[in-house]
Amino acid sequence: MQMQDITKNNFDFIRVLLAFIVFLGHLGALSVSPELKFLEHSPIEVAVFGFFVVSGFLIARSYERSSSLKSYISKRIRRIVPAYLLVVFLCAILLSLVSSYSFREYFTNTQVYKYLFWNSIFLNFKAPWLPGVFGNQAVNGALWTLKIEMCYYFAVPLIFLLFGKNNKYRNISLIILYFLSLVYLNYFEHQGKISMAKQLPGTLSYFIPGMLIYFNFDKFIKYKNTLFIIAIATVWIDLFTDIQLFSPMMIGVIVLYIAYSFKFLNNFGKYGDFTYGIYIFHFPIIRTFTTLGLFKDYNPYVMAFVCMMVVIAIGVSSWHFYEKKFL
């Protein structure tokens, strides 16, 4: 007997909450407004790791329920790629309007096409900027996580192949993989190579807790209250020791505890899945507001609210008029 229906959960609520945390943190940093600077304290990094945990759980489930590798890959690509390419192409075209270059200079500049090429294949770091746009700074600093998601999509079938469905060594194998991932993560973090630390081998330490909890779902539900208390108590240890050891696993426990408690949040996603649109569009939108001087020339709090409304409207439209059609 399964103790809890795995499909009744709060993942929609969690994703909206995490996207909102990322949005607020970026608003604080990118608005260059002294009044909004306090928003920089929003825990963007924890939110991104939370997304990875949710993916760890849901993608393992998606793969296990797929009729074939082909149907799994097709489902995953249809969910991520169309909207991703949309934001890349829209930025390259529409941001010409806020570029310091003329239209002609802009569209004859090779950087525009480098941007389109490298971003289309998820290698954003190769060409993160557009000519004369946002002072040649990163156009969309939120997209780096999508490369990680894509790598993870392809890693899951491999992990299943190695530690299959009924492998009695599966839990221990995943725990070993978790610690190997942490060795990688801590090594590069202490070297100061943060961008290396954030690549797939390092971020696996956040996907794996999601997978582990999925594979041991009934046990997790049975002991979730105890696990939650342990997680809340130990998630802080890493802050003091400056080594990431417990926190990825504990963030995993906390996120999945929220997913399977608070039943009143279960129907949060019934109007659609806007999180992805909000996540991939918010960064260039905030930067456009800053470039147009809106936070400086008008009341920054009002503009922050307007910016949020614009981001939500675009996220909702992206889902209804575009993303949904590919699923």
Please indicate, yes or no, if residue 213 is contained in any of the structural domains.
yes
Distances (CA, A) of 199 to 30, 195, 206, 288: 24, 7, 12, 28
Q: What does the alpha-carbon distance between residue 90 and residue 124 come to, in Å, rounded to a whole number?
A: 15
% of the chain surpassing 70 pLDDT: 98
Q: What does the alpha-carbon distance between residue 37 and residue 23 come to, in Å, rounded to a whole number?
A: 13
**For 8-42, what is each residue's pLDDT tens digit?**
999 999 999 999 999 999 999 999 999 999 999 99
Q: Please give the residue range of the domain that contains residue 44.
A: 11-326
Which tokens sit at 88?
């890349």
Length of the chain: 327
Please indicate, yes or no, if residue 6 is contained in any of the structural domains.
no
**For 278-307, what is each residue's pLDDT tens digit?**
999 999 999 999 999 999 999 999 999 999
DSSP letter for each residue of 159-204: HHHHHTTT-TTHHHHHHHHHHHHHHHHHHHHHTT-HHHHTSHHHHH
Q: What does the alpha-carbon distance between residue 291 and residue 282 come to, in Å, rounded to a whole number?
A: 14
Q: Name which of 303, 295, 220 is nearest 258 in CA terms.
A: 220
Q: What does the alpha-carbon distance between residue 315 and residue 16 come to, in Å, rounded to a whole number?
A: 11
Please indicate, yes or no, if residue 94 is contained in any of the structural domains.
yes
Please indicate, yes or no, if residue 296 is contained in any of the structural domains.
yes
The pTM of the full predicted model, rounded to 2 decimals, is: 0.94
Q: Name which of 150, 148, 149, 124 is nearest 138 in CA terms.
A: 124
Please indicate, yes or no, if residue 254 is contained in any of the structural domains.
yes
DSSP letter for each residue of 25-50: HHHHHHS--GGGGGGGGS-HHHHHHH
Q: What does the alpha-carbon distance between residue 166 and residue 320 come to, in Å, rounded to a whole number?
A: 39
Number of structural domains, the chain? 1
**For 50-70, what is each residue's pLDDT tens digit?**
999 999 999 999 999 999 999
pLDDT for the residue numbered 2? 54
| Cα atoms found within 13 Å of the Cα of residue 224, Cβ hemisphere only | 21
Q: What does the alpha-carbon distance between residue 210 and residue 213 come to, in Å, rounded to a whole number?
A: 5
Please indicate, yes or no, if residue 112 is contained in any of the structural domains.
yes
pLDDT for the residue numbered 112? 97
Q: What does the alpha-carbon distance between residue 217 and residue 314 come to, in Å, rounded to a whole number?
A: 35
Check pLDDT > 90 for residue 269. Answer: no
Q: How many helices (H) and strands (E) does the chain have?
A: 16, 0
Please indicate, yes or no, if residue 4 is contained in any of the structural domains.
no
